[in-house]
Amino acid sequence: MSDRPVGDRFRRFRDRLAGTAGGPDPTAGESHATSFRPDAPRSDAAAQAARLAPVPSGAPTQRRRGGRRGRGGEELTVPAAGFTSYYGRPVLKPPVWKWDIAAYLFTGGLAAGSSLLAAGGQFTGRPGLRRAGRLAALAAVGASTGFLIRDLGRPARFHHMLRVAKPTSPMSVGTWILAAFGPAAGVAAVAEAAPWLPEDGLPGLARRVLPPVGHAAGLAAAATAPALATYTGVLLADTAVPSWHEAYPELPVIFAGSALASGAGVGLLAAPLGQTGPARRMAVAGAALELYGSHRVETRLGLLSEPYRIGRAGRLLRAGRVLTAAGVAGALLGGRSRAVSALSGAALLAASVATRFGIFHGGVASARDPKYTVVPQRERLARRAAVQD
């Protein structure tokens, strides 16, 4: 575990203690009959001193909690609740998912949005949209698979996911959705190579067969795409993580919107200007869903909205909002400029990344602080007791 001698951790605890709370000699015998009231303030003076006091460097500290209260002058709307927990430790285990799961939320949505764009292009005779959408979908779904496997504790066992199909496990459902979507998106993208093949011989046959096969595959991918984009909302919500779980009505909406907007972003970036009309409308629709959903999670959940407004998650979600607004404005107003279109496409993609990471970190923060576990559960118990009386 550690090459430090046993007892070292405790000695450091004592040092930290001596450095705080006015630091009485641990064995000093003066009277300590500081009486206190049973409710909130109690020993918080000492606790506060303890928290604010400097801590020797290198010691595990409450550093990460630095930004917890009223960051940036933003006062808590919820009064600091007098909750308890075992040595203030989290009740839950915070997610062990690393950044790759947040990145997957983005690439999975991007794959779904682009394949819808591609299918639209395919049906309405906009080859530019179709090609961009199919290629982006394949790249994104490939990256998704990579991120998902990378995040496993035992990546070599990724295929164990295919042992079962369980509707109670959104991750299992998602695996099967990906298993349907991925090959379809792959075939659709490969079919885009047809025009480059020679005209005769076996390649010539492929040249003639690929487009219809690509069409069928593109259609299959587009049919699975909405499921791929929205199941991730259930993936996060079906956990004990307080701010994810309680946001279950909104998460799929945010993710659907974010997927549409990022797909539209691909169209704006890569398709010829004359074909981008649908992508612009898709950007507006996606942005509307995304902004509506994230506004709801930031305001509807009471205390559990707080993690989405403060700290890293708050900054990411605010950045996502600004980028979305910029992207939509560019998409609507920059119809005649290649550069503006491309910029707004890039802004929409960046917005989607920021939103996904924001939602991800908001949930992780809510699991790390026992306040978000204990206070809502206490309130629930109190409500139940009130009903029974």
Partner 1 sequence: MSPGPNSYYGPLDPAPDAGWSDAPPRMGFFTDTSVCIGCKACEVACKEWNDVPGSGLDLLGMSYDNTGALTANSWRHVAFVEQARPAGHRTPPFAGNPTGGSVSASSAAVAAGSGNPTGTDPGVPPGSPDAAARMAAGPSSDATPTAAGTQFLGMPGDGPPGRTGSAEGRTDFRWLMMSDVCKHCTHAACLDVCPTGSLFRTEFGTVVVQEDICNGCGYCISACPYGVIDQRKGDGRAWKCTLCYDRIGVGKTPACAQACPTESIQYGPLEELRERAAARMATLHDRGVPEARLYGHDPTDGVGGDGAFFLLLDDPEVYGLPPDPVVTTRDLPKMWKRAGLAALAMAAAAVAAFVGGSS
- Contact at 8 Å (CB) between 351 and 324? yes
| Whole-angstrom distance, CA of residue 250 vs CA of residue 297 | 7
Say whether residue 17 binds partner 1 (CB under 8 A): yes
Residues 275-304: x where in contact with partner 1 by CB under 8 A, - otherwise, as a string: -xxxxxxx--xx--x---------------
Site for partner 1 in 100-139 (CB under 8 A): 112, 116-117, 119-120, 123-124
Sites for partner 1 among residues 182-211 (CB under 8 A): none
Q: How many residues sit close enough to partner 1 to count as binding (CB under 8 A)?
A: 137
Complex with partner 1: residue 174 or 358, whichever CB lies closer: 174
Question: Which tokens go with 258?
Answer: 């974010």
- Map residues 327-366 to x or -, x wherever contact with partner 1 holds by CB under 8 A: --------x-------------------------------
Name which position in 57, 73, 86, 388 contacts partner 1 (CB under 8 A).
86
Q: Do the Cβ atoms of 376 and 303 come closer than 8 Å?
A: yes
Q: Does 164 bind partner 1 (CB under 8 A)?
A: yes
Taking CB under 8 A as the criterion, the residue among 146, 219, 226, 329 binding partner 1 is 226
CA atoms within 13 A on the CB side of 49: 11
* Residue 172 contacts partner 1 per CB under 8 A: yes
Among 219, 227, 325, 342, binds partner 1 (CB under 8 A): 227
Stretch that binds partner 1, among 161-169, 181-189, 204-212, 315-323 (CB under 8 A): 161-169
Q: CB under 8 A: which stretch of 18-26, 191-199, 207-215, 348-356 binds partner 1?
A: 18-26
Separation in Å, CA 378 to CA 78, 83, 88, 371, 375: 15, 9, 16, 10, 5
CA 204 to chain centre: 45
**Looking at 139-147, 270-278, 303-311, 352-360, which segment touches partner 1 (CB under 8 A)?**
270-278
Distance between CA atoms of residues 185 and 118, nearest Å? 10
Closest CA to 56 of 89, 93, 12: 12
Q: Which of positions 37-56 make contact with partner 1 (CB under 8 A)?
A: 37-40, 42-51, 55
DSSP 260-314: HHHHHHHHHHHS-GGG-HHHHHHHHHHHHHHHHHHHHHHHTTGGGGHHHHSHHHH
